[in-house]
A and B are shown apart, each in its own frame.
Chain A
Amino acid sequence: KQEVTQIPAALSVPEGENLVLNCSFTDSAIYNLQWFRQDPGKGLTSLLLIQSSQREQTSGRLNASLDKSSGRSTLYIAASQPGDSATYLCAVSRETSGSRLTFGEGTQLTVNP
């Protein structure tokens, strides 16, 4: 059974700091990994998707890496801003199409002005 863990559970940083969020999964037989952002009381916004054959993906100030063999992914946020405050979720998919996502519990990020 796939289990996804995110560390830390909560993180508070001053504005402008670079930060790393961690995600680990127990079963390395994954097809892809997605990072999402969830604002309080809102839905999920997809940030980045990394295929299992890829090592990293970048979008603006976000960079996600994947080490499938060790079961780890990191989300790097550069020059953090107060607007980045949200809960960040990682989720893994086992198969190519039509496959459930298994989510971690999330990291609650607060960026202080």
Chain B
Amino acid sequence: NAGVMQNPRHLVRRRGQEARLRCSPMKGHSHVYWYRQLPEEGLKFMVYLQKENIIDESGMPKERFSAEFPKEGPSILRIQQVVRGDSAAYFCASSPPGAWTNSYNEQFFGPGTRLTVL
């Protein structure tokens, strides 16, 4: 059972360009979370999604950031018109459905995408 997969692992963008980060959850997991780790800071929650639904986006910046988790395919975190302050590591995590026994909301993390904005 493959773990959480993220791509690309490293992404370089110039100011004003768009960044698209992809996350494939573990097999059978229906919950996806995105977290951001700014340089020298801890991980901060951004958004929580289930298939075709955004459940909690309270940690997402109001402008330029969006996320989706379509019925088919990976979850996408999209950053429009990137600025230097967006440079960070973006981590995706997944957890099993709540109906699974012994799941306890344990979250499993991907390797992250390191975004550098020039």
The interface size of chain B toward A, counting residues with CB under 8 Å, comes to: 29
Of B42, B45, B98, B114, the residue contacting A96 (CB under 8 A) is B98
The chain B residue sitting closest to A43, CB to CB, is B111
A interface residues (Cβ-Cβ under 8 A, vs B): 31-32, 34, 36, 41-46, 49, 51, 89, 91, 93, 95-106
Q: A51-B104, A98-B55 are in contact. List 19 more A-B contacts (CB 8 A).
A: A31-B104, A32-B105, A41-B114, A42-B111, A42-B112, A43-B112, A44-B93, A46-B106, A46-B107, A49-B104, A93-B107, A97-B31, A97-B103, A98-B31, A100-B56, A100-B59, A101-B93, A103-B42, A103-B44
Q: Which residues of B contact A93 (CB under 8 A)?
A: 105, 107
- Shortest Cβ distance from B24 into chain A, in angstroms? 14
- Shortest Cβ distance from A29 into chain B, in angstroms? 14
The chain B residue sitting closest to A36, CB to CB, is B109
- Shortest Cβ distance from B115 into chain A, in angstroms? 14
User: Can you list 24 contacts pairing A with B, beta carbon distance less than 8 Å?
Assistant: A32-B104, A34-B107, A42-B111, A43-B110, A43-B111, A44-B93, A49-B106, A89-B43, A93-B105, A95-B105, A97-B95, A97-B97, A98-B31, A98-B48, A98-B98, A98-B105, A100-B56, A101-B33, A101-B35, A101-B93, A101-B107, A105-B41, A105-B42, A106-B42
